[in-house]
Amino acid sequence: MSDPDGFWGAQAERLDWVKKPTQVKDVDFTLGQVKINWFADGTLNVAANCIDRHLETRGDQTAIIFEPDDPNEPAQNITYKDLHRNVCRTANVLESLGVRKGDRVVIYLPMIPEAAYAMLACARIGAIHSIVFAGFSPDALAARINGSDAKVVITADHAPRGGRKTPLKSNADTALLHCKDTVKCLVVKRTGDQTTWIAGRDYDYNEMALEADDYCRPVEMNAEDPLFILYTSGSTGQPKGVVHSTGGYLLYAALTHEAVFDYKDGDVYWCTADVGWVTGHSYIVYGPLANGATTVMFEGVPTYPDASRFWQVCEKHKVNQFYTAPTAIRALMGQGTEFATKCDLSSLRILGTVGEPINPEAWNWYNDVIGGGKCPIVDTWWQTETGGHMMTPLPGAHATKPGSAMKPFFGVKPVVLDPQSGEEIDSYPVEGVLAIKDSWPGQMRTIWEDHERFEKTYFGDYKGYYFSGDGCRRDEDGDYWITGRVDDVINVSGHRMGTAEVESALVAHVSVAEAAVVGYPHAIKGQGIYCYVTLMNGVEPTDELRKELRTWVRTEIGPIASPDLVQWAPGLPKTRSGKIMRRILRKIAENDFGALGDTSTLADPSVVDDLVENRMNRE
């Protein structure tokens, strides 16, 4: 793109500004003086852009389809008019609790419409939200409430998920023991179960919203005012509070949502993420609603009541665009195809994937079984830090290759750097670390109250670039392949190997459902390859199979990738968003059980005990 500033200046027109910006970009990536500003003299309100401006043309159109955890509970269609009323009421409730422009509000809710109301209500009054995934522990919640000095935490009685219930209010009670006693707790009724109640601290959302006024004026915000904080893990230290902006972020989420999913008026779009993650922020709420879309909010899990749930929901709501994570695809693939083929998936037009490299085996299954070979797959590489898609094929415009994120999005300038020298490598094919040369509107602006850490983390290693932390390969056609976090790279006898490559080979074997690979210290090779393997249902874990897998990987990739150790893993330690916690697997592989760290954020912490108990015996 020859004139990115001209492009972005023109794109700004897709938002409704109170005061149109005259400036486009003011950016410096130099360590010590990093600043990122987009449309800095413009003013707008995000909620007005996501709701009010649609009322005249699509007030009666469904904005949100809520699909509850229990398939027998009716779905809800929330129109843009309903959304407006509910968001205004919620905004007025927050104001009555003393929340003002610039204040922080923590949202700890299930995947229910009130989560979207709460986000947009904050945006409407200029408060900064910080969502904490409902699967996080009280400790993590307390750290985030304190980290942003939040005035209010919004929670629910319980969070139903997969037929079980998480006691959110009780978790919040525990968390609040470690917070300032001025923090107020606003409680949404979800299951109706009894919870403890502290008068003067706890407030009943449903009661208050019913009494609140139907209208709340949207506050005029500067384009660079923070919209939200979202905590994310780094390779070191405590999670970082990633800060996103009002104008640039919304513009980027909206444009990528429309272009990447080829969203057209009247389409029904479903992203299966949780609003606790950035994918839920950008691609369930902000991007789709800014575009006046119909977006599905799903409260449940892919395998409840059984492995056909995703596909039943697609059939029921005639979903056109479906966006999920490779881990879900692999889990469902392991259950067999009948769960999908018995559903009518003919409404699907575009399939998306995000969160980790997708192995060709899963890609092909997704393509053939779910997409019937006729839906382009958009493999979207991006990060909490980037706000929106950075690399992805565009449906209809780009060819796809199983496992490749293909091309940068409009105006994004990826570079492959030599990890040692930090030099850009222009040629291809080439492999190195992935950095971005110049800013894009959705880029994070800072780490909450720690700009120095922001500069050091992202601009410290490779001067003048935003460093992604990912490794990548650019092939002979100039297409990009993300090889995984560079901290996951194993160096075996001086050869670098992406753990994702070995995992991909393993899961390509008929007996393997899932695999995670880490490095461990090896006297001769430097690092050896340690594989945790989850077998398909009903497959016997035998020594023969172990040998077979070693041979399999040798033939799939080469002798250098030959697994040194294969441990049978009935389950892998995963975060609630489905990311495998390699840190823990590395420690187990290293026999370093004393340093497993915090396992409380795992979906199922007991998995770790099993892995420790059955670790491979080695001298």
Integer Cα distance of 343 and 323 in angstroms: 17
Which parts of 221-240 interact with ligand 6R9 (CB under 6 A)?
Answer: 232
**Angle of CA points 184, 190, 216, to nearest 5°:** 55
Helices (H), 16-112: 46-50, 55-58, 80-96
Tokens of residue 9, six digits:
């200046």
Q: Is 237 exposed, middle or buried (0-12, 13-18, 19+ CB in 10 A)?
A: exposed
| Residue 482 in contact with ligand 6R9, rule: CB under 6 A | yes
Among 43, 62, 279, 294, binds ligand 6R9 (CB under 6 A): 279
Tokens of residue 128, six digits:
């900064």
Closer of 9 and 239 to ligand 6R9 (Cβ): 239
Pairing of strands 480-485, 466-474: antiparallel
Per DSSP (E only), the strands in 390-479 are 414-417, 430-436, 446-447, 466-474
Please choose, out of 58-66, 211-219, 443-451, 464-472, the segment that lies near ligand 6R9 by the rule CB under 6 A.
Answer: 464-472
- Bridge partners for 515 per DSSP: 533
Closer of 49 and 353 to ligand 6R9 (Cβ): 353
| Residue 280 in contact with ligand 6R9, rule: CB under 6 A | no
| Residue 528 in contact with ligand 6R9, rule: CB under 6 A | no
3-class DSSP assignment, residue 364: helix
Closer of 167 and 360 to ligand 6R9 (Cβ): 360
| Residue 382 in contact with ligand 6R9, rule: CB under 6 A | yes
The count of residues interacting with ligand 6R9 (CB under 6 A) is: 20
Closest distance to ligand 6R9 from the beta carbon of 482 (Å): 4
| Residue 379 in contact with ligand 6R9, rule: CB under 6 A | yes
Closer of 122 and 273 to ligand 6R9 (Cβ): 273
Does 379 appear as a known binding residue?
Answer: yes
Which parts of 237-256 interact with ligand 6R9 (CB under 6 A)?
Answer: none
Does 174 appear as a known binding residue?
Answer: no
| Residue 119 in contact with ligand 6R9, rule: CB under 6 A | no
Among 278, 293, 331, 531, binds ligand 6R9 (CB under 6 A): 278
Please choose, out of 72-80, 194-202, 463-471, 544-552, the segment that lies near ligand 6R9 by the rule CB under 6 A.
Answer: 463-471
Binding-site string for ligand 6R9 from residue 284 to residue 313, where x marks contact by CB under 6 A and - marks none: ------------------------------
Cα 62 from chain centroid (whole Å): 24
| Residue 165 in contact with ligand 6R9, rule: CB under 6 A | no
Q: Which residues are CB-contacts of 239 (< 8 A; sequence separation ≥ 6)?
A: 143, 231, 232, 233
| Residue 405 in contact with ligand 6R9, rule: CB under 6 A | yes
3-class DSSP assignment, residue 210: helix
Phi, psi of 237 (to 5 degrees): 70, -170
Among 77, 303, 335, 383, binds ligand 6R9 (CB under 6 A): 383
Integer Cα distance of 502 and 481 in angstroms: 15
3-class DSSP assignment, residue 209: helix
| Residue 350 in contact with ligand 6R9, rule: CB under 6 A | no
Rg of the chain's alpha carbons, rounded to an integer? 24
| Residue 354 in contact with ligand 6R9, rule: CB under 6 A | yes
Does 470 appear as a known binding residue?
Answer: yes
Integer Cα distance of 238 and 268 in angstroms: 38
| Residue 376 in contact with ligand 6R9, rule: CB under 6 A | no
Integer Cα distance of 348 and 319 in angstroms: 6
Which parts of 8-27 interact with ligand 6R9 (CB under 6 A)?
Answer: none
Integer Cα distance of 273 and 280 in angstroms: 5
Cα 153 from chain centroid (whole Å): 22
**Residue whose beta carbon is closest to ligand 6R9:** 384
Closer of 90 and 279 to ligand 6R9 (Cβ): 279
Render 490-518 in DSSP notation, one character per residue.
EEETTEEEEHHHHHHHHHTSTTEEEEEEE
Per DSSP (E only), the strands in 325-368 are 350-353
Residues that constitute the known binding site: 161-164, 279, 355-357, 379-384, 470, 485, 493, 496, 507, 509, 512, 554
Residues that constitute the known binding site for ATP: 355-357, 379-384, 470, 485, 496
Residues that constitute the known binding site for CoA: 161-164, 279, 493, 554
Residues of this chain that interact with ligand 6R9 (CB under 6 A) are 232, 277-279, 354-357, 379-384, 405, 468-470, 482, 485
